[in-house]
Structure 1
Amino acid sequence: MSRLDRSPDATVWAATSSRMAGSLMAEYLSASLRRTVVTGPPEELRSARVTVLLSAVEEPSTLPRVLRSLTAGRSRVILSYDGTSRAGEILDTAERFGVWSVFDAREDVRGLVDLIRRGLSTAPSSRHASSSALSHWRLPAPTDRHGLTPRERDVIRLLCAEEPLDTARAARELGISVHTINVHLGNVRRKLEGRYTGNRRALRDALIDVGWLEC
């Protein structure tokens, strides 16, 4: 049988109404994961351990209905979306229906592969674990006495340390996207208004100067 076999016991399902997009994604994921990947319209409701919904090629008005159906089963649903269009509304919908995780399609597709690997290795009882993380990283959080939110402190702890992680690795460590990392960095830089933070070293120095980062 082909790796793109339509059997119901596949480990990964690339759900999309676009036959071309589905075939290309399934071929790539199959080669990267070395696992069976199937593709087909979301309405087919295939049984798979991880479902990736390629929402960028779906009609926006159908997203709530599709997510309601997909998240009703045992599959861990990853929503792939285009962050340049209606991102806030899409993420709100994803959170409302309890998707397992989200992926901005503008980012390196290897990040999606990493998410799928985590989904395949997560215990069934943790189907909503990443949706809880999604809520944590998107909802407003109180600032600490330094003026930073806990999320911002987590980001700078990894990116501005003496031996910092690169952005992609920090994103994997925190279970969020590179885009979200950059949003938090932008917020921190705005809070340091009046100080030069044009590069990572300058940002670290500014954080130390104001007491927001310990040497």
Structure 2
Amino acid sequence: MLSAENLTLSYGSTVALANASATVHRGEVVAFVGPSGSGKSTMLYCMAGLLHPDGGKVSFDGVDLTKLDDPSRSDLRRRDFGFVFQFAELVPELSLRENIMLPLELNGVGRRDRRARVEELLQQLGIEEQADRRPAKVSGGQAQRAAVARAMAHRPRVLFADEPTGALDSQNGVVVLDALLKLASVDDTAVVLVTHDPQVAGRAHRTVRMHDGMAQL
């Protein structure tokens, strides 16, 4: 479904990616692991179309993301991708419920189906009691679980997650990881995640080790 071929990217004299390649299949959970500065997050952002590599190719379902213009790439991300960033990145003016509902509204899902899906995710992630609070009024862990629910809401074909359990205690980390694994198995979503947690990596179907901008499969 998703492949990166020989990606290169530099920030000035600093090499972030050096001919890095990886593939992800439908329903597969792939974890990128490695030390800080090894290129894990850069690789994820390139595969998600959020960064444009200096060289190489990213293909999603036969479409070369590196050749799409910005509007086309944005449409594809809205429709087919979900994102969990390291620090939640929720819309501060919206409640947790409204944040989770946002991708469903943007993708034209009907009101009844939107409400049912949001309630399902609120319960699954254990944040139904905080649903009508804004991000500033809940804990960091609760906000992160809402961000995971938002990324899952429209049942994306690929979900990208940068340290999705980094702000969570071990119990809630298990809840989030269980939700991502369920999304992969039930909805056939490919899940691409970056993690420093060996327990999270251990539950992925496959790991890709990054080192000095290179991917070791």
Do they superpose with TM above 0.5? no
Structure with a larger share of its residues in strand: 2
TM-score (norm 1): 0.28
Larger radius of gyration: 1
- Greater RCO (Cα-Cα under 8 Å, separation 6 or more): 2
TM (norm. structure 2) is: 0.28
